[in-house]
Structure 1
Amino acid sequence: MNGSSELVGRVREALREVIDPEIGFNIVDIGLVYDIALEEGGIVKVTMTTTTRGCPATDFLKDGAGEAAHNVEGVQSADIRLTYDPPWTPDMMSSAAKQYLGIR
């Protein structure tokens, strides 16, 4: 793994510490994190979504993702971008998240 992909992996692991308060599971495994990109100077760009537009936890999730990413060694700043394209669906969840929620 090269340095940038290692850093992206560490950011992904840090984002697993951010728990969606409504679902009770981390934002990576429920499929809210669409992309993590590293740019020059240690800038991490995270593209993410919420389960619905107007989700009451949007600010909480964005702030949590930004703080988690920024706290990873080697990250100088974190830019969290919200998108609804494509819209989130339960199919985006990992098998662990589906099992936790009792979804087949």
Structure 2
Amino acid sequence: MNTELDTAELGEKIVKVLKTIFDPEIPVDIYELGLIYDVFVNEDSEVKILMTLTTPNCPVAETLPLEVEEKVKSLDMVKDAEVEITFDPPWSQDLMSEEAKLELGML
């Protein structure tokens, strides 16, 4: 079994799940918004997600990381998931994908 392939495949599945989670204030998913800084998957299928929020006092600061954790943990291949919030670097509109900018009429 090729673990490299498995972690890449799992990474893609995680991204798909992240794309189902939306920021309540902006009608764009958190992945396209650029809120996900990094996804780490180790050989034991434990996932660590480094993410930010649009603002430190974001109304979903408590619930959004939990939702991310629970949805990622719900994947069969995932043994455990942990979300770490960072504000370094702080989120800015530059981190949004072209798709998100288009969606919000910024292009």
Q: TM-score range by the shorter chain?
A: over 0.9
Match of 1:23 in 2: 26
Does the CA contact (< 8 Å) of 2:7 and 2:45 recur in 1?
no
Q: Which whole-Å CA distance do the structure 2 matches of 1:97 and 1:73 have between them?
A: 29
Match of 1:79 among 66, 78, 82: 82
Does the CA contact (< 8 Å) of 1:33 and 1:48 recur in 2?
yes
Match of 1:53 in 2: 56
**1:5 corresponds to which letter in structure 2?**
A
Residue 18 of structure 1 and its aligned partner are, at CA, apart by: 0.6
Unaligned runs of 5+ in 1: none
Match of 1:103 in 2: 106
Match of 2:66 in 1: 63
Q: Which whole-Å CA distance do the structure 2 matches of 1:88 and 1:67 have between them?
A: 23
Structure 1 segments (4+ residues) deviating >2 Å = none
Larger radius of gyration: 2
Match of 1:92 in 2: 95
Identical amino acids, percent of aligned pairs: 36
Q: Which whole-Å CA distance do the structure 2 matches of 1:30 and 1:13 have between them?
A: 14
* DSSP-derived class of the 1:97 partner: helix
Matches within 5 A, 1:25-44: 25-44=28-47
Unaligned runs of 5+ in 2: none
Does the CA contact (< 8 Å) of 1:17 and 1:68 recur in 2?
no
Paired positions, count: 104
Does the CA contact (< 8 Å) of 2:7 and 2:43 recur in 1?
no
What TM-score do you get using the length of structure 2 for normalisation? 0.91
* DSSP-derived class of the 2:81 partner: strand
